[in-house]
Amino acid sequence: MARFSRRHFIATAGVLATVPLLKGCFGNPPGPSSQSGAPGTTGSPAAPVASAVKPGEEPEVKTAKIGYLPIVEAAPLIVALTKGFFAKHGMTEIKIEKQANWGSARDNIKIGSAGGGLDGSQWQMPMPYLISEGIITDKAKVPMYILCQLNTQGNAIALASKHKGKGLGVNLTGKGASYLKELASSGKKFKAAYTFPKANQEFWIRYWLAAGGINPETDVDLLTVPTAQTVADMKRGAMDAFSTGDPWPNRIVSEGFGFTPVLTAEIWKAHPEEYLGIRKDWVDKNPLATQAILKGIMEAQQWCDNFDNRKELATILSAREYFGVPEAVILGPLMGKYELGERKVDDKSLAVLYWKDSKGSVSYPYKSHDLWFLTESVRWGFLPKETLANAKTLIDGVNREDLWKKAAISLGIPAADIPTSTSRGVEEFFDGVKFDPEKPQAYLDSLKIKKV
Ligand code: CA
Alpha carbon distance 253, 442 (integer Å) = 39
Q: What is the pLDDT of residue 184?
A: 96
Residue 187 lies in a domain: yes
Alpha carbon distance 297, 449 (integer Å) = 38
Same domain, 148 and 228: no
Number of domains in the chain: 2
Average pLDDT over residues 366-371: 98
Q: In 3D, which of 192, 226, 190 has the Cα closest to residue 207? A: 192
Alpha carbon distance 238, 38 (integer Å) = 43
Distance 185 CA to ligand 1 centre (A): 32
Q: What is the pLDDT of residue 349?
A: 97
Alpha carbon distance 401, 149 (integer Å) = 10
Q: Confidence class of residue 260 from pLDDT cuts 50, 70 and 90?
A: very high
SS3 state at 450: coil
This prediction's pTM: 0.89
Distance 84 CA to ligand 1 centre (A): 25
Distance 153 CA to ligand 1 centre (A): 8
Q: In 3D, which of 427, 423, 424, 447 has the Cα closest to residue 436? A: 427
Distance 308 CA to ligand 1 centre (A): 23
Distance 200 CA to ligand 1 centre (A): 7
Q: In 3D, which of 411, 317, 306 has the Cα closest to residue 79? A: 317
Higher pLDDT residue, 234 or 428?
428
Q: Confidence class of residue 452 from pLDDT cuts 50, 70 and 90?
A: confident
Cβ–Cβ < 8 Å for 106, 60: no
Return the minimum-mean-pLDDT range out of 44-48, 218-222, 257-261: 44-48
Distance 244 CA to ligand 1 centre (A): 6
One DSSP character per residue, 207-219 reads HHHHHTT--TTTT
On the question of a cis peptide bond just before residue 126, with omega within 30 degrees of 0, the verdict is yes
Which residues share a beta bridge with 112? Answer: none
Model confidence pLDDT, tens digit, residues 107-147: 999 999 999 999 999 999 999 999 999 999 999 999 999 99
Measured from the Cβ of residue 51, the count of other Cβ atoms closer than 10 Å reads 16
Distance 32 CA to ligand 1 centre (A): 31
The chain-wide mean pLDDT, for the chain, equals 89
Distance 216 CA to ligand 1 centre (A): 20
Residue 28 lies in a domain: yes
Same domain, 173 and 256: yes
Higher pLDDT residue, 207 or 12?
207
SS3 state at 186: coil
Distance 7 CA to ligand 1 centre (A): 36
Cβ–Cβ < 8 Å for 291, 56: no
Q: Confidence class of residue 27 from pLDDT cuts 50, 70 and 90?
A: very low
Distance 105 CA to ligand 1 centre (A): 14
Distance 117 CA to ligand 1 centre (A): 22
Q: In 3D, which of 159, 306, 120, 334 has the Cα closest to residue 239? A: 159
Alpha carbon distance 123, 160 (integer Å) = 27
Same domain, 89 and 140: yes
Distance 54 CA to ligand 1 centre (A): 35
Distance 69 CA to ligand 1 centre (A): 9
Higher pLDDT residue, 440 or 325?
440
Alpha carbon distance 283, 396 (integer Å) = 15
Q: How many CA atoms lie within 13 A of 32 on its CB side?
A: 0
Residue 353 lies in a domain: no
Alpha carbon distance 28, 432 (integer Å) = 49
| Per-residue pLDDT at 7 exceeds 90 | no
Same domain, 31 and 118: yes
Q: What is the pLDDT of residue 4?
A: 37
Distance 269 CA to ligand 1 centre (A): 14
Domain ends where: 232, 267, 302? 267
Give the list of residues 6+ apart from residue 64 with CB closer than 8 angstroms, or none: 91, 94, 95, 113, 119, 120, 278, 282, 286, 289, 293
Q: What is the pLDDT of residue 246?
A: 84
Distance 56 CA to ligand 1 centre (A): 37
Alpha carbon distance 15, 420 (integer Å) = 41
Average pLDDT over residues 15-33: 30
Q: What is the pLDDT of residue 47?
A: 55
Which residues share a beta bridge with 357? Answer: 360
Distance 281 CA to ligand 1 centre (A): 26
Distance 19 CA to ligand 1 centre (A): 30
Same domain, 96 and 136: yes
Alpha carbon distance 174, 143 (integer Å) = 45
Model confidence pLDDT, tens digit, residues 341-351: 999 999 999 99
Helix axes 387-398, 367-379, angle to 10 degrees: 140
Alpha carbon distance 351, 273 (integer Å) = 13
* Ramachandran region, residue 153 (left: φ > 0; alpha: ψ -120 to 50; beta: rest): left
Average pLDDT over residues 413-431: 98
- Largest separation between any pair of C-alpha atoms in the chain: 75
Residue 323 lies in a domain: no
Distance 219 CA to ligand 1 centre (A): 24
Same domain, 17 and 69: yes
Return the minimum-mean-pLDDT range out of 34-43, 238-247, 305-314: 34-43
Distance 202 CA to ligand 1 centre (A): 10
Alpha carbon distance 331, 230 (integer Å) = 22
User: Which DSSP state fits 353?
Assistant: B
Same domain, 42 and 134: yes
Model confidence pLDDT, tens digit, residues 172-184: 989 999 999 999 9
Model confidence pLDDT, tens digit, residues 284-311: 999 999 999 999 999 999 999 999 999 9
Domain ends where: 257, 292, 318? 318
Cβ–Cβ < 8 Å for 164, 70: no
Distance 48 CA to ligand 1 centre (A): 31
Return the minimum-mean-pLDDT range out of 203-212, 236-245, 313-322: 236-245
Distance 4 CA to ligand 1 centre (A): 40
Range of 7-16, 41-50, 203-212 with top mean pLDDT: 203-212
Domain ends where: 230, 245, 267? 267
Distance 169 CA to ligand 1 centre (A): 20
Same domain, 255 and 167: yes
| Per-residue pLDDT at 41 exceeds 70 | no
Cβ–Cβ < 8 Å for 149, 176: no
Distances from the Cα of 299 to the Cα of 77, 309, 359, 404, angstroms? 10, 13, 20, 13
Same domain, 15 and 133: yes
CA angle 54, 59, 65 (to 5 degrees): 140
Distance 71 CA to ligand 1 centre (A): 7
Residue 67 lies in a domain: yes
SS3 state at 402: helix
Distance 298 CA to ligand 1 centre (A): 19
Distance 156 CA to ligand 1 centre (A): 9
Average pLDDT over residues 390-411: 98
For residue 183, the domain's CATH number is 3.40.190.10
Q: In 3D, which of 142, 141, 241, 267 has the Cα closest to residue 183? A: 241
Same domain, 56 and 108: yes
Residue 246 lies in a domain: yes
| Per-residue pLDDT at 44 exceeds 70 | no
Alpha carbon distance 350, 48 (integer Å) = 33
Same domain, 19 and 143: yes
Q: Confidence class of residue 251 from pLDDT cuts 50, 70 and 90?
A: confident
- Provide the domain limits for residue 88: 6-152+273-318
Same domain, 143 and 208: no
| Per-residue pLDDT at 443 exceeds 80 | yes
Residue 365 lies in a domain: no
Residue 231 lies in a domain: yes
Q: What is the pLDDT of residue 45?
A: 52
Distance 201 CA to ligand 1 centre (A): 7
Q: What is the pLDDT of residue 255?
A: 86
| Per-residue pLDDT at 210 exceeds 50 | yes
Cβ–Cβ < 8 Å for 296, 91: yes
Distance 155 CA to ligand 1 centre (A): 6
Return the minimum-mean-pLDDT range out of 128-132, 164-168, 230-234, 270-274: 230-234
